[in-house]
Amino acid sequence: MRRRFHALAVAACVTAAALIPAAPSWAEETTPPTINVATLSPSAPTGQNNWYRDPVTLNMSATDDVGIAKFQYSLNAGAAYIDVPVEGAPATATASAVITQEGNTSVRYRAVDTSGNVAAFRSISVRIDTRAPAASYPAITDGHVGHVATLIPTRTDPAPGSGGVAVLNMYLDGKLVPPLPVQTSDLSLGVHTLAVHLSDAASNSAKYTQTFIVTTSFADVGTLIARFVTAGSVPAEVGAALQAKLDEAKALADAGSAKQASQVLKESVSIANGQIKPGSARSTIMDDTRYLIDQLKDRLAPEPATGLESEPAEGPKFIPDPVLTPLPHNPDADYNVLVFSKTTGFRHDHISHTVAAIQKLGIERNFNVDVYDPQLPTVTLPTSPFLSLDTLKKYDTIVFESNVGHPGPLNAITEQPNFEAYMNQGGGYVGIHGAADSFELRTWPWYGNLVGGFFTNHPSGQNGFGQCGSCIHAEVVTEDKKHPATAHLPAKWMTVDELYNFDRNMRADVHTLLSLNEDSYQRSLNSGNAATNPLRLMNGDHPIAWCQNWGGGKAFSNILGHFRTHYYDDSFMRIILGGIETTADRTDANCSSYRETSLLIEADRTAGLLTESAADAADAALDIARDSYLATNYTSAISALNSIVSVANLKASGDAAARSELLRQARELREWMQNLNRR
């Protein structure tokens, strides 16, 4: 009986075990999904500097053996995830999520399968900024500002924005002006407007116009008097007399004697009118004092409305890189040009634009254009033309286009000597922008003399300019209106560019064509804290484009050209064209320089082609002419150059051919000085 019960119990257990179903395969599945690299829509940023100016769609995809249940994404480094469900649990799934969070966000994303397995997250950077920067003027209170204030707009980009706020344009009373601090002492009393057109790194833009009234006070007038005395525009004794009258009038006004105070101020006006020379100092002191009189007599004119207004504005335009192809060789072209843009250091993003622009000039002006730059594989020559002097001699001029590198992109043994020989045999050189930031003084000083000087540094800028993060505004002065490269330019014009400083002041050595007005950007609102801490530049004398006859050849340097927009500007490209045509000997240009003539005199002295007395006389006169030129005393320079002409005309001075060349150079220098004297 006991044995039968045991058998039944065993059978029951076996039966029960048979009734328990086997564990399903999904219960054992532990493999997480495979998450693919996500994409963004639109694929190209809608703003600049890789920023979007609108919401962005995150497109996710993944695969899994048993099925995708959902995707997840996180906007806060994984602290919290947001679910994006997937219907039907497919083995291959896609999903999208609209990202609206502003700022530079590292978005984490992952997939979860139906077993709860979670894929390791991937991440993608999403940079969104939809809001324009803002401006305000802290110095202006209730629409009023004193006559000795400095107006510097505070520019902010709403956080978390793209930053890099740039002043694209600035207008004072409707006139375009450089973006600099505004001294109210330079303004007349009364109503004014100051507008700034701002853009951030994403190219969100707005224009802010501040209407304000410049007023004055006893304290302001006293400060102005002191400033004018310090500047030498008001004699010290006159300043003391004016200050005494001002103090007397203020004491009377404070005591409630407005009528007597007004009478004292009238005496002050008489002093200013009779004892200060006509000019801004006299008119400012008189106008401000009369304002105080009108204020004491309560007869100031009614004030207009003031305030800060904003309006949408267009930001910098995005210029995509061109697709470069070789320019077909034209057997009937007038001449041949080589563009050399190989770099071994920093690479400027304008290089492909420059190449395309010069190719366009070649088509329009009938010259062939070859390019050597291994980093432009679709257009470059297969081997370096600098390896052979005979190859270089096929080109009438060579454009060195921002060929940055230290010690440089030309081999010192196999290439540099060929280029020197090419120039010595009458070759042409055109240097653009970063060509001055190549090679080194200690390894190749000849190149620095050819360019005119080596780059040392440049002021910083703001990313709000779009594709020119180191650019700032500057006024350019056209010094030579006769050279074909600059004859079309106005006497003064504004540019936005990366502005180089150099290891030397090259003015005494080269023929300056363009220079920078350092006052127009030394306190630039777009360069760090320059508005309150002036930039260290070139001590007020800043050539930026020049030409010269050097080493037997012709050289032209235009150090402007960082901003890719320049290569779509006809006026700028006429500068480049002038450099190409003159160095290729297709157009005449006076590129005389004092260094060239000095070297000629010494070479002729050494060779015995000029007598010692003639060389001494020519040297002495040249020193006077050069020093006079540097002091902008062109009349004196012309007189000294006439002395060299006289030396060259004397048969007793030496060899006829040597005297003829000296005469030619002296006359070219004289012509240059005469043109400067007529500006």
- Beta strand pairing call for 553-558 and 428-432: parallel
319: tokens are: 């210029």
DSSP 460-485: ---GGGSS-TT-EEEEEEE--SSSTT
Report cis status (omega within 30 of 0) of the bond before 459: no
- Beta strand pairing call for 335-340 and 397-401: parallel
The per-residue pLDDT for 679 is 87
DSSP 364-410: HHTEEEEEE-TTSTTT--SS-GGG-HHHHTT-SEEEEES--BSS-SS
Give the residue carrying structure tokens 């000019």: 279
The per-residue pLDDT for 206 is 98
The per-residue pLDDT for 24 is 47
The per-residue pLDDT for 551 is 86
Residue 168: Cβ within 10 Å count: 24
- Of the candidates 174, 164, 160, which has an alpha carbon nearest to the alpha carbon of residue 199? 164
Which of the residues in the chain have pLDDT under 70? 1-28
DSSP 553-620: EEEEEE----SGGGGG-HHHHHHHHHHHHHHTTSS------HHHHHHHHHHHHHHTSB-HHHHHHHHH
The per-residue pLDDT for 21 is 44
The HSE-up count of residue 193 (CA atoms within 13 Å, CB side) is 16
The per-residue pLDDT for 243 is 98
176: CB partners within 8 A, 6+ apart: 169, 170, 494
The per-residue pLDDT for 296 is 97
The per-residue pLDDT for 29 is 85
pTM: 0.92
The per-residue pLDDT for 15 is 34
